[in-house]
Amino acid sequence: MKYPKIVGWSVVIGFWSITGCALNQMNKPNVIEISNTAEDMIEWIIEDEASGNIGREQADTYIDNLEGIIIDLGVTR
């Protein structure tokens, strides 16, 4: 074989690239699940505020924080 080091490093770099792409794709479902959970929590907080379990100011604070998490995750729908 004329270029064994080039072939070897090509295989290593190719493997790292494929592994990196696969790991990136595996992380996306977790981000979507976190966003869905935050959206569910917003709905629960709205229901709790409507039933009088928490005050309006506290509900607004929780909702603002959860919306900030969704924005930080970069999830768009």
pLDDT reading at 39 higher than 90: yes
pLDDT reading at 25 higher than 80: no
Question: Residue 2: its pLDDT value, please?
Answer: 67
| pTM confidence score | 0.62
- Indicate the helix (H) or strand (E) that contains 64: helix 56-73
pLDDT reading at 27 higher than 90: no
Please, are residues 39 and 70 in contact by the beta-carbon 8 Å criterion?
yes
Helices 56-73/4-51 angle, 10° precision? 160
